[in-house]
Structure 1
Amino acid sequence: MRDEWFVGLSVAPISVGDANRFDAELDEHHWLGHRMVGETMRYVATDSCGGWVALLGFASPALSCGPRDRFIGWTRDLQQRRLRFVASNQRFCILPAGRRPNTASAVMSKTLRRLSADWVDTWGHRVLLVETFVDPSRHIGTCYGASSFLY
């Protein structure tokens, strides 16, 4: 059976006027706060009434990440030239209004569908790979598996 709440769910980059609210919400609800560095994209997921239900932040990736670099098969030279095509999902926060089953995977899926095009608009190049790091003592990362992330 279809849950109508998800039909009205949308994800978009935050507007300039929402930056302070975005930062304040992350500071209140995410254990790492709002700080991200490098090329960044900040997204808000809203319900059909415009209420904020989730926040996501993508930023430049770590310069070196052994598991990622081995997985891709990069040499040092390729890594330096292609690292800009990787985005790191550094913040993902389901706000109290969005805490219901499947919200995380629905929001992640909608965000990943638009991330590369938004990155081109903002930073002038595509995203070809998204990475994330999950602290297993806090979360098991189920929504990432549901969104086709590989361990």
Structure 2
Amino acid sequence: MITAIDNQRFCGREFTREELFLMQEVVETCAGISRTELSHTVCELLEWRRANGGLKACECLDFLERLEGQGFLKLPEARQIGPKKGTRRHIAPQTGEQPWAGLAGSVESFLPLDVEVVKSQKQRSLFKDLVSRHHYLGYAMPFGARLQYLVYVMKPGRQVVGCVQFSSPAWRMRVRDRWIGWDDAARERSLQRIVNNSRLLVLPRIRNLASALLSCVLRRLRKDWRDHYGIDPWLVETLVDRERFHGGCYRAANFIVLGETSGRGRMDRAHQRHGAEVKTVMVYPLVKDAAIRLRDGFGG
């Protein structure tokens, strides 16, 4: 186990050496409790909370596991519930029935759409199964905050037709940061006002369904995110794989094209993947003057 470590940043917070050694001490002295209990304990000691007062326990557990990977501490064995944990990404084969397969035509014939926030275990299982089977990236539990939606048509019967996921934003993206015009201090202050559309899955081949589905979710995202996390988001960002997609549904939903990524990936701070998987960066302001608010730090 290493005994020297520098300050580290994770999910928008800078942790000092003293705080890191406190985490190490908690893990060493609290033998017999689970990883989840450890994450709650660390959050309470360090006052690592969301704007609504809730503990950032999921983020804390991710951070503790990263510190374990660096050899800084040793967590208790994970208590497995369900399938054994392996890679964070899960891709399942496209097998089984596809009840939406017979739906066709124009989206106007299927309106209004019904949007549900994923809350129950049944909804979570359905969301994960659909994304695992039918999204080219598969399903991966996102770091930090997250909201997931299931979207249904009601005609001729109620049937799920799409999945949408929002999660924590990228720490640094050149074209986005240039569009906002903020410096490091402003980004640290306001970054959590941005949410990332990290998954969009549209199942049937209904004309204009993708943009209609996306617009329906965006109309309620701001309130849902505020109710869930106590933070009022001002901007949505998304990354579109330019080798696979044009991003037409985002353009039709009034997203703004900012440019392209360097290809490093959202979490690649060590510059190890430069030039790989270049993506188009698009944003959607949820409020008027979103860039000014993010840069200057004012607003509700």
Same fold (TM over 0.5): yes
Tell me the matched-pair count. Answer: 148
Q: 1:2 to 1:83 in 2, by over 3 A?
A: closer
- What code does the residue aligned with 1:26 have? V
Q: Secondary structure at the match of 2:240?
A: coil
2:137 is aligned to 32
Measure the CA separation in 1 of the matches of 2:165 and 2:229. 15
Identity of aligned residues (%): 34
Measure the CA separation in 1 of the matches of 2:139 and 2:232. 24
**Counterparts of residues 1-150 of structure 1 (less than 5 Å):** 3-7=108-112, 9-17=113-121, 18-35=123-140, 36-48=142-154, 49-95=157-203, 98-150=204-256
The answer on whether the counterparts of 2:107 and 2:206 sit within 8 Å (CA) in structure 1 is no
The answer on whether the counterparts of 2:107 and 2:208 sit within 8 Å (CA) in structure 1 is no
Q: 1:2 to 1:99 in 2, by over 3 A?
A: closer
Deviations 1:29-54 (A, max 9, x none): 01112212210000011011331100
The answer on whether the counterparts of 2:167 and 2:197 sit within 8 Å (CA) in structure 1 is yes
Deviations 1:47-68 (A, max 9, x none): 1133110000000011111111
Deviations 1:78-132 (A, max 9, x none): 000100000000000011xx32110000000001100010001111111100000
Q: Secondary structure at the match of 1:27?
A: helix
Instruction: Give how far 1:148 is off.
Output: 1.1
Is 29-38 or 125-134 further displaced after alignment? Answer: 29-38
Measure the CA separation in 2 of the matches of 1:136 and 1:75. 28
- TM-score normalized by the length of structure 2: 0.48
Q: Secondary structure at the match of 1:107?
A: helix
- What code does the residue aligned with 2:237 have? E
Measure the CA separation in 1 of the matches of 2:110 and 2:216. 14
Q: CA RMSD in A?
A: 1.5
Measure the CA separation in 2 of the matches of 1:82 and 1:3. 38
Instruction: Give how far 1:2 is off.
Output: 8.5
Is 132-141 or 11-20 further displaced after alignment? Answer: 11-20
Measure the CA separation in 1 of the matches of 2:107 and 2:240. 30
- What code does the residue aligned with 2:202 have? I
- What code does the residue aligned with 2:182 have? W
Q: Secondary structure at the match of 1:31?
A: coil
- TM-score normalized by the length of structure 1: 0.93
2:268 is aligned to none
- The structure whose Rg is larger is 2
Measure the CA separation in 2 of the matches of 1:66 and 1:115. 25
RCO comparison, higher one (Cα < 8 Å, 6+): 1
